[in-house]
Amino acid sequence: MFLTDYIKDVTGALKSLATGMKRTLYYFTHHKEIITEQYPDNRATLVMADRFKGEVVMPHDEKNEHRCTGCTACELACPNGTIKVVTKFDITPEGKKKKAIDKLVYHLELCTMCNLCVQACPSDAIKMAQTFEHSVFDRSKLTKILNNPGSKIMEGVE
């Protein structure tokens, strides 16, 4: 019958609206469900995932030695030209010339954190760091030299 259908329509509609309102009221009254992380305030407790790709760094040990041989594998692997390896020739104690890095220039502003350079590196000289606050006021600060000044290649890394 027309009238019963009409009333059924109206009550069904009101019921569906009430279901939704019940759900939002639940969240309105249950503040423990709030999932907001207040980022700059929680810096102390914020832990990034250990694989998070933030920027490329070159780890040095306490003797200021790194593992980079200057093979340019990372430079070749990089799709954006982010890494530039500047090489020089060291004179070994035996008097032979040996290729080594002078500078490993890293352009953070070009990097897409694709991780290809880290995979390409045969001697595990570079890795991804978990930092992510990269903003600076001068873009030239984003061009970094990864090896520390005066650093040397570690013994035994070929």
- Smaller CB separation from other proteins, 51 or 96: 51
Could you tell me which stretch among 9-17, 93-101, 103-111, 142-150 binds other proteins (CB under 8 A)? 9-17
Cα distance between residue 46 and residue 31, in whole Å? 22
> What is the C-alpha to C-alpha distance for residues 28 and 33, in angstroms, rounded to an integer?
9
Does 10 help bind other proteins (rule: CB under 8 A)? yes
- Among 1, 2, 5, 28, contact with other proteins (rule: CB under 8 A): 28
Q: Is position 116 an interface residue for other proteins (rule: CB under 8 A)?
A: yes
Q: What is the rounded CA–CA span in Å between residue 62 and residue 149?
A: 14
Q: Return the SS3 of 56.
A: strand
Structure tokens at 34: 């709030």
Tokens of 153: 């290649």
One residue of 100, 110, 128, 142 binding other proteins per CB under 8 A: 128
Interface with other proteins, residue 25, by CB under 8 A: yes
Near other proteins by CB under 8 A: residue from 57, 105, 113, 129: 113
Neighbouring CB atoms inside 10 A of 20's CB total 9
Strands 65-66 and 152-153, by their bridges, are parallel
The residue ranges that bind other proteins (CB under 8 A) are 10, 12-13, 16-17, 19-25, 27-28, 31, 33-36, 38, 49-53, 77-79, 112-116, 119-120, 128
